[in-house]
Structure 1
């Protein structure tokens, strides 16, 4: 199942290291079939508050996403970003083509019923 690396960068300062990081990151993604879906594009906040930018990278599966993040090639360039950007990164599983949100609602309903019965 597809997995994603999602980054929320809240604070960044321009620096030559960031340019080097962006120039080198694709080579670290290629062995894991990672590809950018979003890379800091324009966004509109429609609910809540949001400061910063978003990066979304798609991988064939969780193993590839985790393998990329832990890879020596990525770990080598990682300080080029982390020394100049404040943010959070998560790896999250996608949903399959037959995903039905009603099934998630049923899980929530069961949890609520269990709490009420406790």
Structure 2
């Protein structure tokens, strides 16, 4: 079964307030066995433009990745994130071939 991934590019407007989101999202991520593969870090934009922060999170399955996003735990964390950041997030199925 292919894994699932969240791929996000985020601009944080209030880093202090964003910390509340990071603390809250840990509940959902633990519930769905999420693993951060990329969480910020140095990067080089070689094509196009993206928001300043990149995040890649791995889940055991594509379904788990979707279920985590729609879970009450994550939606509560997202409510803390929305006022203090903007971003793009896609949920993708991993390649299993």
Instruction: Give the deviation of 1:15 after TM superposition.
Output: 4.5
Question: Greater relative contact order (Cα 8 A, min sep 6): structure 1 or 2?
Answer: 2
Instruction: Give unmatched runs, 5+ long, in structure 2.
Output: none
CA distance in 1, matches of 2:65, 2:48: 29
Instruction: Give the deviation of 1:88 after TM superposition.
Output: 0.8
Q: Which residue of the partner structure matches residue 76 of structure 2?
A: 76
Instruction: Give the deviation of 1:46 after TM superposition.
Output: 2.4
CA distance in 1, matches of 2:43, 2:78: 25
Normalized per residue, the structure richer in strand is: 2
Per-residue CA deviation, residues 31-62 of structure 1 (Å, 9 max, x unaligned), is 11111111111101223333411111000111
Larger radius of gyration: 1
* Cα distance change on mapping 1:46 and 1:25 into 2, 3 Å: same
In the TM superposition, structure 1's runs of 4+ consecutive aligned residues that sit over 6 Å from their partners are none
CA distance in 1, matches of 2:74, 2:6: 13
**TM, length-normalised to structure 1:** 0.74
| Contact 2:62–2:94 (CA under 8 A) maintained in structure 1 | no
Instruction: Give the deviation of 1:27 after TM superposition.
Output: 1.7
Q: Which residue of the partner structure matches residue 4 of structure 2?
A: 3
**TM, length-normalised to structure 2:** 0.88
